Amino acid sequence: MLVVTPGVPALGGEHFRLTQWPFPVLVDARRYVYRRYGVTSRIWSLGQRPGLFVIDRTGLVCYAHVGAQQWNIPRVEEIRDILDGLG
């Protein structure tokens, strides 16, 4: 599992180090990954839109969700079911 977040590497890295996330975090200050996956800000969105992707070990995108607003995210149970299905 990997988290990709926009922001300043020094600040983002420090936040995730202090909160001790159990998986790696990539601070994408230039939003390269965001653009590659189509998770770009829109005029009508109130900031960075959320994106959640499940990518299997072979690199296949098994699930993709791009929200219209920051609060538009999938349910935890939905993602857990997808991850369980990967084996």
- Please enumerate in sequence order all residues whose Cβ is within 8 A of that of 28, keeping only pairs 6 or more positions apart, or say none: 4, 5, 6, 34
Q: Is 35 exposed, middle or buried (0-12, 13-18, 19+ CB in 10 A)?
A: exposed
In the chain, what percentage of residues exceed pLDDT 70? 86
Total tally of structural domains belonging to the chain: 2
pLDDT in tens, 36-75: 888 877 666 666 777 888 888 898 888 888 887 878 888 9
Same domain, 49 and 80: yes
Average pLDDT, the chain: 80
User: Which of 83, 5, 75, 78 lies closest to 39, judged by CA?
Assistant: 5
**b/e map 15-25, b = 16+ CB within 10 Å:** ebeeeeeeeeb
Same domain, 44 and 4: no
Same domain, 84 and 59: yes
Same domain, 11 and 28: yes
